[in-house]
Structure 1
């Protein structure tokens, strides 16, 4: 057991010694590259989360608007249902009264029918009026009665009036009964339709409430995830700055342990590729032009040509508002004549991230970006030296 522990300890010692003898540039470069990659992953995740949060907020607003509409319609339908219930109740009372009236009418018809039959029997011979009685009792209107005139020639004028009233009562009874039945059927159909609308709007409102709750949950989850990524990115940037500062402290010349951004530089004013003044152009003050000028509208975003740390962010009588970024191993970029500076000294910035706005400050004659590349203290041609692609 002791021998095993001694072997493990010996192995650890060898690993530590090997790590100590490795060039700082290899360790730091790998670390910074990894950290920068992780920072980009977190920033990409934050951008995606921001889109999701925005979409969920838009969805929530749409659901809330729909909910408000459904609630308004639901309230309207409830009011209509109350009105319809009142009408149905009133019609029910009317129907009860009409039913009593119809019952009275029916009783009157029955009485007149019985009276009429007695009168027919009284004035006619049983054998001769059996068929006539059947004919007379089957009529439904006075017009039918006229058509059967041959069978009732011996009926008196009073009997004729009684028969006409009997037919009229039958017609009136049938009509009033049908009208009441139609009214009740119509009211019931309208009531059922309103109940269906009430159930529909209630269901849709509940659906919108569920959607709103889900959207709120998604927003909360997204914001929490965004905060986590934001905190993680801040930690990574702080770690990057710490390792970067340590590497710079150990050495500032190529090959002596410092770290260099080894990727191509990104164009600092996306969408604006015209160069109005090139590197080396002669100036009236007899000094050469140590950068390139990229004209653009004032306020156009200026983005970092590479990931790195802001080491200067201030006013200069000639540069105006300007920023200098350190990308490691002595490679720096300068952005001058800005209208506004977005980043302060010590800020870690990812490649392509906005750091300032194009302006016309300092010794400038029109809104543009003056862009310089410094490599170990020497100004370089951003285009001719291959740092940028025009």
Structure 2
């Protein structure tokens, strides 16, 4: 199955270093929550799930900043390039480090005698003396509840070198946790298994979505139909996740041209605004899905009605089931939000597609 993959990291030297000085927004947040923090011994972590706070001495982190940003801030293309994660560096000696340690996602780099490493290892049940340098491990709720701390054991005397070598493993650990969080958020409302069963019985395919998704079934005439599954909570002016499924008799071959032509036929009629397709940054992947030929095509849709300039990413799947070829179009509208989380949700829905004929 194709995934919403990250591109190879690319250097972006234009980013300014985010030490404590740029922490204006986090520090404002701290000012708001500090009165609450004294209420009990361990508070719930705060901060965005895609914000990574790295705890390490400035003297070391300054040596590896560029390499760290290249790996831990990969860009993904949705409707434009955007960073998957935002990295900030914090020196453990900073006067507010006690409060900054309450953020949701922390990364600690240190040798076996580093005090922060010893704290994280104790919480994780790890004996640093028994670990090889370069080892990456995680602990939960170290300084706050609902917090994940990723720790990297550095080699004494070769700290910078072992830091850089561990970065791919750090990204893998962070991204795995993030994907799990996305799924928990997505299914905060129960999975609609009744809808999945009904789709299979009536239309010969199944998909699994949360119960918060609305279903619209439309008769196109001649016995053909299509289904739209849509979630526009909390407000359609802020966020729309939509999945449309249509079908036709089996086609000879699954091609990029077929996918885009099919989408152009549908969007002008069945979406609330006509969507122009921008395929200048599209990707195409052929794969086998549950033993059946399939194709994925990505691109960007744009509102061509002439009103408010709206746009967003889409992912189209063509799946050649035994009796029909299915067209599945997942698209997103989120003008003021980071899109990676919602693209992962749409990819999860696409991955639940099954031929049930």
TM-score (norm. length: structure 2): 0.19
Which has the larger Rg? 1
Of structures 1 and 2, the one with the larger relative CO (CA 8 A, separation 6+) is 1
Task: Point out the structure with the larger strand share.
Answer: 2
TM-score (norm. length: structure 1): 0.18
Task: Point out the structure with the larger helix share.
Answer: 1
